Structure 1
Amino acid sequence: MRFHTRKWVKPEDLNPNGTLFGGRLLEWIDEEAALYAIVQLENPKVVTKYISEIDFKSSAKKGDIVEIGIEVLNFGKTSIKLKCEVRNKMTHETIITVDNIVMVNLDANGKAIPHGKTQVEYVSDRLASDDKTS
């Protein structure tokens, strides 16, 4: 799994127990999944269709740095299915796992449309192919 984003747990991210609020963490995961899907599908119009059960393994506290990992499970006709792990950057202890996140590719009218993707592409590969066509 590739870890793309780091977040610093700040006082405003905490619940009354003094640990990272689960809702804040889910917000970060949803945003990261959306950004990942947008880059992969090359379309800024992507929405979350489904997030499977989540499994909180441990907590994070103020001052911790957490990192969010995303991995592609597969490409559907109009969707991309991802999984996610969030872990403590320093200890690598898993904080949460999400086994299934489905993001859907949309047209300008908000309707699901085929994206034509079948495998993970990296921006560096796209840039290299652009250089060859120039």
Structure 2
Amino acid sequence: MRFLSRRLVMPNDLNYANSLFGGRALEWIDEESAIYAICQLETNQLVTKHIGEISFESPALQGDVVEFGLETKQVGRTSITVTCLVRNKETKKTICLADDIVFVRVDRETRLPVAHGKTFEELQARAKLEMKGLI
């Protein structure tokens, strides 16, 4: 899993218990996962189809820096499925895990699913090159 992005928990992100509001965490997860999927498939013509199991493990407090770990779980003909782990940057404690987040490529005009032309193996190979700094 690669940790690609970070956010600072601000006062307007808090719930009544002064910890990160779950709805805000889900908003961030959807956005970060979408950006990841867009970069993987090299198209911004994606929509969120499904978010599977979501598990909140520990709170994030005002001033905490949270980071988003993302990985490709599966690649279909028109879709990509990713996992997103949100953790505290300093303590590495898991804040939230969102599994089986599915994005589907759609045609700009018809909004119907269309093939993206990528394979799981291709995306894995590219990720290895990126981690080595070769691309």
Identity %: 50
- In the TM superposition, residue 68 of structure 1 has moved relative to its aligned partner by 0.6
- In the TM superposition, residue 124 of structure 1 has moved relative to its aligned partner by 5.3
Q: Deviations over 1:49-69 (max 9, x none)?
A: 000120000010000000011
1:19-34 map, 5 Å: 19-34=19-34
TM-score (norm 1): 0.89
Which has the larger displacement, 9-18 or 112-121?
112-121
Structure 2 CA distance for partners of 1:84 and 1:124, relative to 1, 3 Å: closer
Q: Deviations over 1:83-109 (max 9, x none)?
A: 110000000000011121000011112
Match in the other structure for 2:51:
51
**Which ranges of structure 2 fall in alignment gaps of 5 or more residues?**
none
Amino acid of the structure 2 residue aligned with 1:21: F
Query: How many angstroms apart in 1 are the aligned matches of 2:40 and 2:107?
Result: 16
Consecutive aligned runs of 4 or more in structure 1 exceeding 6 Å deviation: none
**Cα RMSD, aligned residues only:** 1.7
Q: Deviations over 1:107-131 (max 9, x none)?
A: 1121110011013235959xx78xx
Match in the other structure for 1:14:
14
TM-score (norm 2): 0.88
Match in the other structure for 2:42:
42
Match in the other structure for 2:83:
83
Amino acid of the structure 2 residue aligned with 1:117: K
Which structure: larger Rg?
Answer: 1
- What secondary structure is seen at the aligned counterpart in 2 of 1:30? helix
